[in-house]
A and B are shown apart, each in its own frame.
Chain A
Amino acid sequence: QVQLVQSGAEIKRPGASVKVSCEASAETFSDYFIHWVRQAPGQGLQWMGMINPNSGGTTYAPRFHGRFTMSRATSATTLYMELNSLRSEDTAVYYCASDPSGDGVVGFDFWGPGTLVSVSS
């Protein structure tokens, strides 16, 4: 099974940027896509985008296009999400989640523990 380890909590000022990492266990990782999902305090789940760790190909949710970037380390087992021009509404827990099919047809089977990003002046 895939294990996902995320970087620690972040506190940022409005207008700043944040970069969160998601490190995946290497076992069968080459078969997985990684999605990013966020959850504001007391709110539901919001899909942000997905990345193919092998090709680096990405798909972004329209509302995040331009302010949100997904990338991968050279090793391809560490993925990153970066969110720019932070505002208070970006305060949320950010999750990475694995997708064994690449098109979500069998759901997101493993999730990281989440990274809390707090945006406050």
Chain B
Amino acid sequence: DIQMTQSPSSLSAYVGDRVTITCRSSQNIGTHLHWYQQKPGRAPNLLIYAASNLQSGVPARFTGSGSGTTFTLTISSLQREDSATYYCQQSRNTYMFTFGQGTRLEIK
């Protein structure tokens, strides 16, 4: 299986801050990497697909980058409604999709 590791596991930041979350895969996955946001009690919501493509309807302050084994999700100017848990997911192995363990983002 391809293992996905996110860092940090949690972070706290102020409104207006620039925040970066990193996701690393155990093997080269090209750009088969997606980011989701999940708020408590809600289903995950796709933010970024194929490493750097903004899903329709997602604010432009969210950007994704990376390829191979290291990827980042950046929120350029944090808003209060961005408080959530963020997950990365690989789709390189279509017989076993895997998610990172999640990064909990708190707004100070």
Interface residues of A (CB under 8 A from B): 35, 37, 44-47, 50, 59, 61-62, 95, 97, 103-109, 111-114
Contacts and interface: CB of A to CB of B under 8 A. Distances in A.
A106 B94 contact: no
Contact of B96 (A45, A47, A103, A113): A47
A44 B34 contact: no
Nearest to A110: B46
Contact of B100 (A44, A62, A107, A111): A44
B55 A105 contact: no
A107 to B, nearest CB: 4
Interface residues of B, number: 25
Nearest to B43: A111
Interface of B: 32, 34, 36, 38, 43-46, 48-50, 53, 55, 87, 89, 91, 94-102
B99 A45 contact: yes
B76 to A, nearest CB: 21
A45 B89 CA distance: 9
A37 B101 CA distance: 14
Given A44-B102, A45-B87, A104 B94 contact: yes
26 contacts: A44-B100, A45-B99, A47-B98, A50-B97, A59-B94, A59-B95, A62-B96, A95-B43, A97-B44, A103-B91, A103-B94, A104-B32, A104-B34, A104-B89, A106-B50, A107-B34, A107-B48, A107-B55, A107-B91, A108-B36, A108-B44, A108-B46, A108-B89, A109-B49, A111-B44, A113-B43
